[in-house]
């Protein structure tokens, strides 16, 4: 898997852009990504009855109250849309939602951008990028206001529909929709410019490498298998496999790739932890939804929040309590 898929999964902005992108007329053509599934009322009821917890969840306690930290995934399957019992309980025990970005901030921020997005590093890459936008059945030029790597991240997430993974069923999107419906306050932990700054390489040579890698994988479909593996690990709340992600993602094999991974994942975490701490300290009881990969590594959010004075309790997956020392063995 390339760094571009990692970039796509690390960015709530790319997920929202997929939802905002219009498709060309006749997008149901065989070569287009399938449209989002609209479940029937009967399907929604069945999924709600059988819902299980997916994605890791922690209780954060400090200042006499608790918030919850939820490791989300920016794509999902329709049958994953209903919250499991522990996530549902966390929702009931909180009064505000915190996410990486508030979609209401996106278009104004892009419109107020002081300079146009940079062009792709060379004409050949620009043509390949345009070809992929056409293959995903987007109107010509619809992504041109975005930096090239963000364009490619958006296209990569659109391609995920071909394997049944849809940003419309990402947990962030579903929780935001519920918060808006119920009038729950929504807090953004990052700004659009901060996400763009973290994801778009400053070095032209690195930008070319990221684009070339991502285009090659998008053209061949090679990124789909690790994406499905990551989604399955998230759905099982498999913290071990998620933590081992750099070993199997094929996106952290060189020093440059490992530096890229740190930049778009680990290095964002201290600021996220500071803002979570500040919001909790203001009196809110938060449900905080941040990409699950931010819960792993040396700069994992649970570790950083523990350093901020929170008592951390893992809720999903539930910890297995060791047998009491006084308990007799048969």
Answer whether residue 90 is part of any domain.
yes
Q: Is residue 32 part of a domain?
A: no
> In angstroms, rounded to a whole number, what is the distance separating the alpha carbons of residues 43 and 25?
28
Q: With respect to residue 103, please indicate whether it lies within any of the assigned structural domains.
A: yes
Query: pLDDT tens, 12-25?
Result: 677 767 777 765 44
Residue 306 has pLDDT above 50, yes or no: yes
The per-residue pLDDT for range 62-118, each reduced to its tens digit, is: 999 999 999 999 999 999 999 999 999 999 999 999 999 988 887 787 777 655 555
pTM: 0.90
Instruction: Look at residue 204 and give its three-state secondary structure.
Output: helix
Residue 67 within a domain: yes
- Residue 220's contacts (CB-CB under 8 Å, 6 or more residues apart) are none
Place of tokens 């951008």: 113
Work out the angle at residue 269's Cα, subtended by the Cα atoms of residues 231 and 169, and round it to the nearest 5 degrees: 30
For 77-86, 115-124, 130-139, 218-227, which range has the lowest pLDDT when averaged over its residues?
115-124
Residue 119 pLDDT level (bands cut at 50, 70, 90):
low
* Helix ranges restricted to H, the chain: 3-10, 12-20, 41-49, 85-92, 106-111, 123-135, 148-159, 171-182, 192-199, 204-220, 224-235, 239-243, 245-248, 255-264, 269-281, 301-307
299 part of a folded domain: yes
In a domain, 323, yes or no: no
Residue 29 covered by a domain: no
Q: How many domains does the chain have?
A: 1
Range of the domain at 282: 3-19+56-114+137-316
CA distance 274 to 278: 6
Mean pLDDT (whole number) for 33-44: 93
| Mean predicted lDDT score pLDDT of the chain | 87
CA distance 247 to 245: 5
Is position 146 within any domain?
Answer: yes
């Amino acid at each position: 898997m390339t760094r571009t898929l990692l970039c796509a999964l690390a960015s709530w902005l790319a997920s929202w852009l997929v939802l905002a992108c219009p498709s060309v007329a006749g997008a149901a053509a065989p070569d287009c990504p399938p449209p989002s599934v609209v479940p029937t009322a009967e399907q929604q009821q069945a999924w709600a009855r059988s819902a299980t917890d997916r994605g890791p969840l922690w209780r954060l306690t400090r200042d006499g109250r608790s918030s919850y930290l939820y490791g989300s995934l920016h794509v999902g399957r329709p049958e994953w849309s209903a919250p499991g019992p522990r996530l549902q309980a966390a929702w009931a025990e909180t009064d505000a939602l915190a996410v990486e970005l508030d979609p209401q901030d996106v278009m104004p921020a892009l419109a107020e951008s002081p300079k146009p997005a940079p062009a792709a590093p060379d004409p050949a890459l620009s043509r390949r990028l345009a070809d992929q936008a056409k293959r995903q059945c987007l109107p010509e030029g619809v992504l041109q206001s975005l930096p090239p790597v963000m364009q490619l991240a958006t296209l990569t997430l659109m391609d995920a529909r071909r394997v049944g993974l849809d940003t419309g069923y990402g947990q962030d999107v579903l929780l935001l929709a519920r918060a808006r419906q119920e009038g729950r306050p929504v807090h953004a932990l990052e700004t659009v410019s901060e996400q763009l700054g973290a994801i778009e390489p400053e070095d032209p040579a690195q930008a070319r490498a990221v684009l070339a890698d991502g285009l090659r994988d998008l053209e061949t479909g090679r990124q789909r298998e690790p994406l499905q593996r990551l989604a399955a690990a998230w759905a099982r709340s498999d913290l071990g496999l998620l933590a081992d992600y750099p070993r199997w993602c094929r996106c952290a094999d060189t020093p440059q790739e490992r530096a890229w991974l740190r930049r778009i994942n680990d290095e964002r975490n201290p600021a996220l932890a500071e803002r979570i701490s500040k919001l909790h300290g203001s009196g809110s009881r938060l449900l905080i939804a941040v990409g699950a990969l931010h819960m792993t590594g040396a700069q994992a959010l649970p570790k950083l929040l523990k350093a901020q004075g929170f008592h951390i309790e893992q809720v999903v997956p539930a910890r297995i309590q060791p047998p009491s020392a006084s308990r007799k063995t048969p």
